[in-house]
Amino acid sequence: MKWDSSFAIGIEVIDNQHKKIFEHLLAIENSVAKRDPWHILRFFVAQLTEYMKFHLAVEEALQEITHYPECAEHCDAHVRLIEQIASLEEQLKKNASGENLVGFFEDWFIRHVLSNDRKFGAYVKAEFPALLATTAAPNIDRADVGRH
């Protein structure tokens, strides 16, 4: 499964992280397809898990900062996801097959992004359009710091 622009929610930092999640999923899919030994598959799953935790924390922080009205429900979905990931990792340790893991992530990710994350993107677009602007940071010379 590959990233498709239809998955974009309009918040560049989140969209870029979603793309990175797809890269991790692709690595797992390839590992399963090649029938890599369990320790290699486990490595890819651990990478995805850690990145997902980081991504979810960023998303939750943005929701708190913007006072997103559905933040609590969205965060609850993230908690459930982390619990499900832990359960799937335990299953992986027992039977060394990542096929159900890949299917779970793809299904969850598409459902979550296309519904919950898209709602958040629409909220940010309506309430905080400046957050969607992609402007380059000004070039600040160290010599200029402190002159003001």
What is the domain-level CATH number for residue 15? Answer: 1.20.120.50
Domain that holds residue 39: 10-128
Which of the residue ranges 96-105, 119-128, 137-146 would you say has the lowest mean pLDDT?
137-146
Rounded-to-integer distance, Cα 112 and Cα 108, Å: 6
- Report how many domains make up the chain: 1
Instruction: Tell me the pLDDT tens digit for each residue of 47-61.
Output: 988 998 999 999 999
pLDDT tens, residue by residue, 34-48: 988 888 888 988 898
Determine, yes or no, domain membership for 93: yes
Task: Provide the pLDDT for residue 135.
Answer: 43
In a domain, 55, yes or no: yes
* Residue 105 neighbours by CB distance under 10 Å: 25
Predicted model pTM: 0.80
